[in-house]
Amino acid sequence: MPAAVRTPIYAPLGLRDSTIDKDSRLYNGFAEKWQEEGEIYVYKRPGMSFNSQPSGGAATGRGVFNWKGNIYAVFNGTLYKDGANVGAVSNVGLYTFSSCLGATPRLFFHNTINAYTYDSGAGVVAVTDVDYPATTVPGSAYLDGTTYVMTPSASIRGDDFNNPQSWDPLNTLLAQIEPDDGVYLAKHLVYTIAFKQISTEVFYDAGNAVGSPLGPVQGSKIGVGVRTAGSVCKLGDNLAWIGTTTEADVQVMFMSKVKADVISTPPVERLLKPLNYTTVWSWSAKANGHRFYVVTFPSSNLTLAFDVTSLSWYIWTDVVGNYMPIIAATYDTNDTPILQHATNGKLYNFSATEFGDEGQPFPWRCFTPRMDGGLRAQKANTKIELVADRTATNVRVSWSDDDYQTFNAGQDISLDQDRVWLQDGSAFSTRAYQLFHSDLTFLRIKGMDLTTTPGTL
């Protein structure tokens, strides 16, 4: 009598070329390895529930930030504090945020053309100092009392001490180890990071009495720049971005403790290479014990999620299977991630206890690698049993015997029973399985027990 063989359903993103219709992949989920068992469980991704929407309805999301426990969001040309209108701003581009201390602590935020400060006394005030650059790249860095921005020509400019309304014409420094242009300015630990086209430079507070307080950290130059500013994202004390080099490589980088490592795999890089980079959004959130870096290419209809905890890549979608329309993220006083929608004017809670997006189920799919059981001969699959938590929901199991070109209609298996299995009996040489779930319920699956009878060559 043939014995059942435990088969994991999860394998890393395994695309053989730049398309996503073949090989192993996980949609709207994440994987977790249980140390005591050494086996991998697959979960649904956290879902989104409604948090708030300013009056006026649908609006373009332009940035969101937590400052002093309050949620500041720009929709269209308005800055909102916890949903209340606190002032008009330019209705152009995306905003990045930082803050400063001093006698009057201020929120500082800017796009590439306009800059503003906000405090409860003065409200929203435009930065009009002639010494503030006419054009900047996204991102800013507050370090030891000085707020820094960077121009496209890689000139780093600083304000007067704790006053982003006043900019010191002498507080300027050129990031010039390489002659490439500036793309994004960020803060990492106690350093200011100047991201450029094909290189990255690191600066520290050197305490210079004249000119810029910054000085270069010797030996810290990174030979990878930023492919697009929209990919740069802060994850706690770390940074992630899509990088490029003099060889025109496209790879995803992760900076921790001023050390940058490649986190993209060859399949991910094959997928990234031909994408449309005209518009790119990125955000980070920690939920269900996992921290995620999420990057979206709306013109290519694709959202990729990197699980920093499990070091794995997934594909995430909205409820109809398109890209996730989330443009930015922050958190509230309860450490709940807050996500900003790109167009509908809403903020969402991102939570492991939500199993859909605003009450609508999203499609969870897991595609296995092709398997042949170590034997190319014809085989008969007599039984498929899912190893999963008992839940009042169904999972549809289907399979492809023609290298992912077509899948059969499949069969639904109820997880609300002790033994979760279906009879099969079909013959195959090599086979790939697809598991599908679309209910507002919890889901966790470890694998499949496959009972297979060998045939003849």
The enclosing H or E element of 60 equals: none
Rg (CA), the chain: 25
Using 50, 70 and 90 to split pLDDT, how confident is the model at 424?
confident
Three-class DSSP category at 270: helix
Cα(284)–Cα(295) distance, rounded to whole angstroms? 9
Q: Is the pLDDT of residue 456 over 60?
A: no
| Domain positions in the chain | 4-45+364-454, 48-351
Q: Is the pLDDT of residue 297 over 90?
A: yes
Q: Is the pLDDT of residue 35 over 80?
A: no
CB contact at 8 A, 201 and 184: no
Sign (positive or negative) of CA dihedral 363, 368, 369, 371: negative
Average pLDDT of the residues in 30-34: 92
CATH number of this structure's domain 4-45+364-454: 2.60.120
Cα(164)–Cα(140) distance, rounded to whole angstroms? 11
48: tokens are: 């989104």
Average pLDDT of the residues in 82-110: 97
- What size, in residues, is the chain? 457
Three-class DSSP category at 423: strand
Burial bucket for residue 59 (CB in 10 Å: 0-12, 13-18, 19+): buried
Sign (positive or negative) of CA dihedral 16, 22, 26, 31: negative
Q: Is the pLDDT of residue 187 over 70?
A: yes
Q: What is the chain's mean pLDDT, rounded?
A: 94
Using 50, 70 and 90 to split pLDDT, how confident is the model at 30?
very high
190-212 as b/e, with b when 16 or more CB fall inside 10 Å?
A: ebbbbbbbbbbbbbbbeeeeeeb
Q: Is the pLDDT of residue 37 over 80?
A: no
114: tokens are: 């306009």
Cα(183)–Cα(449) distance, rounded to whole angstroms? 50
Residue pLDDT, tens place only, 284-294: 999 999 999 99
336-358 as b/e, with b when 16 or more CB fall inside 10 Å?
A: ebbbbbbebbbbbbbbeebbbbe
Number of Cβ atoms within 10 Å of the Cβ of 149: 28
Q: Supply the pTM of this predicted model.
A: 0.96
Cα(315)–Cα(355) distance, rounded to whole angstroms? 17
Average pLDDT of the residues in 241-250: 92
Instruction: Report CA dihedral (169, 137, 68, 128) to the nearest 10 degrees.
Output: 40
- Determine the pLDDT at residue 383: 85
The enclosing H or E element of 267 equals: helix 266-272
Task: Provide DSSP, 124-151.
Answer: EEE---TTS-SS--S--EEETTEEEEE-
Half-sphere exposure of residue 279: CA atoms within 13 angstroms, side-chain side: 14
Average pLDDT of the residues in 7-28: 94
CATH number of this structure's domain 48-351: 2.130.10.10
Using 50, 70 and 90 to split pLDDT, how confident is the model at 86?
very high
CB contact at 8 A, 242 and 183: no
